[in-house]
Amino acid sequence: MFKTINSVCPKDCFGSCSLAVDVEKGKIIKVRGNRNSPVHQGRICTKGMHYPNMLYSPERLLYPLQRIGKRGDGKFKRISWEQTVDIIYEKLKNLKEQYGPESVLYYNRFANLGVAKNCAYSFWYQFGGFTSTYGGLCDAAGQEAIILTYGEIKHNKISDLENSKLIILWGSNPAYTNIHLMHHVNKAVDKGAKLITIDIRENESGTKSHLCLNPRPGTDGCLALGIASQLIKNNIIDDNFIDRHTFGFAEFKELVKDYPLEKVSAITEISIGKIKSLINYLKENPRYALICGIGVQRYTNSGQAIRAISLLPALTGSIGKKGCGFYFSDRQAPELNWPFFPPKPKRIRNSIAAAKLASELHNQTDPPVKAVWIEQANPMTSNPNTNLLAQAMTQLDFIVAVDLFLTDTARMADIILPAASMYEYYDLITGYGHSYIQLQQKMIEPPGECKHESEIYRLLGKKFDFNLDYLPENNLITMEKVINSSNLNTDVDELKRKPYLY
Ligand code: SF4
């Protein structure tokens, strides 16, 4: 007989879906959406449903591995955890003594979200420092742009989209990337809302759209300024809202005069007729929701493009009301506090932009980067300029990769540590598609000799004689301490039953 355990999908995804997982005799037999979840109501993507395939894949790494061939050849031998810890300890200790702690780059991205990944800093702070990256590969420019424009990143609940009369999807394809938001977009359209899609291609979310604009890549900012120019010129603006809630409008009005229809049409390669049609929709529905995707901000200066796009709803007073607003990501849930940080060492060098890892890895001096520890990341496939990155990594003295599979990055490593999957450890998840906090439950033991990072760092911490109070075990007591220190009005028992809305 199986039992069903509530959990959450921690993938770096707008969904942060509530899961109902059937477990029988220590094995996961089925993953479904949790029908009792207020935000998801049982919906998850097909990838989520098929996680057991990943979990029990014959290709999953089950033991620590040491490189035996040339770097990148993918030849490894199995070693014990004891040998693994000894090798890593010797390497890190020697590098720290010879070059300083900054000679080690700690590189961590977002394979999984969650507060428990902070256990890494509990180790690296005690190590005395490290080199780290800054910025991100994903949405950092857009976030910064919105904070500069609005002060904070927030929007109405995604279910409020059902109150919209007009929805604009700008560089966003939620049918593929944000299924819960798309659910509400579809419901709004079924109730008669108009849908406009703006994207460099006709995307899957736009199948029901009433108007589709395909700007030349990288010209979204120009299009936004052109639309603003037409709205102001044709007096389709909310003077009262602008007076009360904005500043700098006079300068903005002057700026957008530089973006007449003809010029915008020539730059964006969208016909004047289509731009006029969009203006007409806005004239008929000045209160609307604009959903902006993340891809829009992945061009040079595109933080400014996001600022221009985000201003459009404000021009017509379409902010802070039902069915309205500018949607980018939902950052309203509080950041959870990790109460196990040791004192922060001075020798943390934030010197490499994440997107420039390939070109900057070997430009570090005093000390140079000699070793890289990579977890929750696969930069050999997800970072720009992977050929250059491969060259840079080949020259390193030592690479440790923590992963579930022999990824392109793990292939480059000297030591590969087999990681626990999302069903094999506890965590607390706040996402960016909604404001709920959810408990990720450990429901099975990791297979083979796989370990969660907290256990890996505890093993190493013991070897380094670090204070293990900062490196707690991954269990519900640790989660309860996180909840208490984050001042949440909930507890582990409640979170086992349902998500918590802050
Ligand atoms: S939609 Fe995202 S969060 Fe939900 S199950 Fe799929 S990958 Fe996980």
User: 27: domain CATH number?
Assistant: 3.30.200.210
Give the total residue count for the chain.
502
Tell me what pLDDT residue 39 has. 81
CA of 11 to the centre of ligand 1 (A): 6
Q: Do 177 and 124 belong together in one domain?
A: no
| Mean pLDDT, the chain, whole residue set | 96
Q: Which of 137-141, 221-225, 352-356, 414-418 has the lowest mean pLDDT?
A: 137-141
Residue 332 resides in a domain: no
Q: Which helix (H) or strand (E) holds 125?
A: helix 119-127
Q: What is the pLDDT of residue 384?
A: 93
pLDDT tens digit string along 340-384?
999 999 999 999 999 999 999 999 999 999 999 999 999 999 999
The closest alpha carbon to 313, from 432, 224, 390, 205, belongs to: 224
Query: Is the domain of 50 the same as that of 70?
Result: no
* Helical spans, DSSP H, in 191-256: 220-233, 239-245, 249-256
- 268 and 359 share one domain: no
pLDDT of residue 136: 85
Please check the confidence at residue 331 and state whether its pLDDT lies above 90: no
The mean pLDDT of 442-460, rounded to a whole number, is 98
Q: Identify which of 182, 358, 219, 40 has the alpha carbon closest to the alpha carbon of residue 227.
A: 219
Q: Which two tokens stand for residue 485?
A: 């220190």
Could you tell me if 349 and 478 lie in one domain?
yes
> What is the band of 37 on the pLDDT scale with cuts at 50, 70, 90?
confident
Average pLDDT score over residue span 150-171: 95
User: What band does 333 get if pLDDT is binned at 50, 70 and 90?
Assistant: confident
Q: What region, left, alpha or beta, does residue 449 occupy, with left being phi > 0 and alpha being psi -120 to 50 degrees?
A: alpha
φ and ψ at 348, to 5 degrees? Answer: -110, 120
pLDDT at residue 500, as a whole number: 87
- Backbone dihedral angles phi then psi of residue 14, each to the nearest 5 degrees: -60, -25
Token pair, residue 236, equals: 């389709």
* Cα 429 to ligand 1 centre (Å): 13
Distances (CA, A) of 184 to 180, 191, 193: 7, 11, 11
Looking at the structure, do residues 170 and 240 belong to the same domain, yes or no? Answer: yes
> What is the percent of the chain with per-residue pLDDT over 90, rounded to a whole number?
91
How many C-beta neighbours within 10 Å does residue 363 have? 12
Ligand 1 residue neighbourhood (C-beta within 6 Å): 9, 11, 13, 15-17, 44-45, 47-48, 179
Segment (H or E) for 46: helix 46-49
User: Model confidence at 48, in pLDDT bands (50, 70, 90)?
Assistant: very high
**Nearest C-alpha neighbor of 376 from the set 14, 55, 62, 112:** 112
Mapped onto helix, strand or coil, the DSSP state of residue 222 is helix
Q: Which of 12, 21, 45 to mutate to test the pocket of ligand 1 (most atoms within 8 A of CB)?
A: 45
- Whether residues 35 and 145 fall in one domain: no
CB 72 within 8 A of CB 412: yes
Range of the domain at 28: 3-55
Give the residue, by CA position, lying nearest to ligand 1 atom 5: 48
Ligand 1 pocket test target in 18, 34, 40, 44 with most atoms within 8 Å of CB: 44
Note if the bond before 174 is cis, omega within 30 degrees: no
- Distance from residue 31's CA to the centre of ligand 1 (Å): 11
Taking the centre of ligand 1 as the mean of its atom positions, its distance from the CA of residue 8, in whole angstroms, is: 9
Single residue among 274, 293, 327 that ends a domain in this structure:
327
Distance, CA of 451 to CA of 402 (rounded, Å): 10
Query: How many independent structural domains does the chain possess?
Result: 3
Nearest CA to 194 out of 266, 76, 101, 280 is that of: 280
Q: 391 pLDDT band (50/70/90 cuts)?
A: very high
Q: Which residues, at least 6 apart from 85, have a Cβ–Cβ distance to it below 8 Å? A: 459, 460, 463
Number of H helices, E strands in the chain: 19, 19
Please state the ipTM of this predicted complex: 0.99
Indicate the pLDDT class of residue 335, thresholds 50, 70 and 90.
Answer: confident
Residues 156-182: what's their mean pLDDT? 96
Residues 350 and 262 in one domain: no
Geometric angle at alpha carbon 182, from 440 and 41, rounded to 5°: 45
Question: 17, 31, 43, 55: which to mutate for ligand 1, most atoms within 8 A of CB?
Answer: 17
Q: Strand, coil or helix: what is 370?
A: coil
Confidence check: pLDDT of 502 > 80: no
Report the 10 Å Cβ neighbour count for 427: 26
Ligand 1 pocket test target in 8, 39, 47, 182 with most atoms within 8 Å of CB: 47
- Cα 18 to middle of ligand 1, angstroms: 9
Strand-pairing partners, residue 6, are 20
CA of 235 to the centre of ligand 1 (A): 43
The residue among 15, 48, 43, 7 whose CA lies nearest residue 329 is: 15
Q: What tens digit of pLDDT does each residue of 253-265 get?
A: 999 999 999 999 9
CATH number at residue 255: 3.40.228.10
Whichever domain contains 398, its CATH number is 3.40.50.740
Whether pLDDT at 64 is above 80: yes
| Domain membership flag for residue 333 | no
What is the per-residue pLDDT across 184-229, written as a single tens digit (0 to 9) for each?
999 999 999 999 999 999 999 999 999 999 999 999 999 999 999 9
**Residue 350, in any domain of the structure:** yes
Q: Tell the residue number behind the tokens 């720290």, with chain if given.
A: 96
pLDDT(1) > 90: no
In a domain, residue 151? The reply is yes
Kindly list the strands in the beta sheet with 211-213, ordered across the sheet, starting from the edge strand earlier in the chain. 211-213, 194-198, 166-170, 289-292, 325-327
Flag whether 46 is in a domain. yes
317 and 424, same structural domain?
no
Instruction: Name residue 430's beta-bridge partners.
Output: 437
Q: Specify the amino acid at residue 379.
A: P
Two tokens at 348?
A: 């943390």
Residues 482 and 458 in one domain: yes
Per-residue pLDDT band at 452 (split at 50, 70, 90)? very high
Ligand 1: atom nearest CA of 33 is 5
Q: Is the pLDDT of residue 501 over 90?
A: no
- Tokens for 230? 């037409």
Q: Tell me, yes or no, whether 128 and 152 share the same domain.
A: no
Token digits for 148?
A: 């500069």
- The mean pLDDT of 88-102, rounded to a whole number, is 98
- Same domain? For 354 and 497 the reply is yes
Q: What does the block give as tokens for 488?
A: 């949440």
Residues 122 and 240 in one domain: no
